[in-house]
Amino acid sequence: MAMCFNIVLVAPEIPQNTGTIGRLCVCTDARLHLIRPLGFQLDEAHLRRAGLDYWPYLNWMVYDSWADFLQQAQPGRMLFCSTKTSRSIYQLQFQPGDWMVFGNEGHGLPADFYQRYENQLFTIPMPGQHARSHNLANAVAIVLYEGLRQCQFNK
């Protein structure tokens, strides 16, 4: 039953979100990949507090840049999550080992990603009218659990 999704955070800004996502990764046996620059220090108390005592069990890596990430991690199929597309995550057939890429809290993905990876962009449907997006940790949870539902829990 071993399966591992990969969560990639590009330049995350808020330590509590990253800590919460780290805990989510431990709970789901997912790997966490952090792309610099980070908006916090990795030893920051907020980061560890959000991850509670799970942080030592987290499978994680930090990369100096997107190019460094691509070279070191050599990711497989990447899925980019954004509010700037109309294709829903529910139209996607997740595969074990997918790399789920998320932008940061303030600006989303880097501007050039929207063209470079346009065929790999997906969004979480939001029928509400009064919010721009979900909180980053919530968005990761929604997408990761949809992947798990499709690949593991639905069998």
- The predicted pLDDT at position 51 comes to 56
| Higher-scoring residue by pLDDT: 153, 58 | 58
Write b or e for each residue in 45-77: b if 16 or more Cβ atoms lie within 10 A of its Cβ, otherwise e: eebbebbeebbeebebeebeebeebeeebeeee
Give the pLDDT confidence of 93-137 residue by residue, as tens digits: 999 999 999 999 999 999 999 999 999 999 999 887 777 778 999
User: How far apart are the C-alpha atoms of 116 and 113, rounded to whole Å?
Assistant: 5
Distance separating alpha carbons of residues 48 and 70, to the nearest angstrom: 27
Domain housing 47: 6-153
Name the average pLDDT for the chain: 90
The CATH number assigned to the domain holding 51 equals: 3.40.1280.10
Residues in contact with 73: Cβ distance below 8 Å, sequence separation at least 6, in sequence order = 6, 33, 61, 63
pLDDT band at 48 (very low <50, low <70, confident <90, very high): low
What is the tally of structural domains in the chain?
1
C-alpha atoms less than 13 angstroms from C-alpha of 121 in its C-beta half-sphere: 18
Would you mind telling me the total number of residues written for the chain in this entry?
Answer: 155
More confident residue, 3 or 26: 26
* Confidence at residue 1, expressed as pLDDT on a 0 to 100 scale: 40
96 in any annotated domain: yes
Mean pLDDT of 63-91: 97
Q: Is residue 1 part of a domain?
A: no
Our separate counts of H helices and E strands in the chain read: 5, 6
HSE-CB at 68 with a 13 A cutoff on CA atoms is 11
- With bands split at pLDDT 50, 70 and 90, how would you rate the model's confidence at 15? confident
Query: What is the predicted pLDDT for the residue at 71?
Result: 98
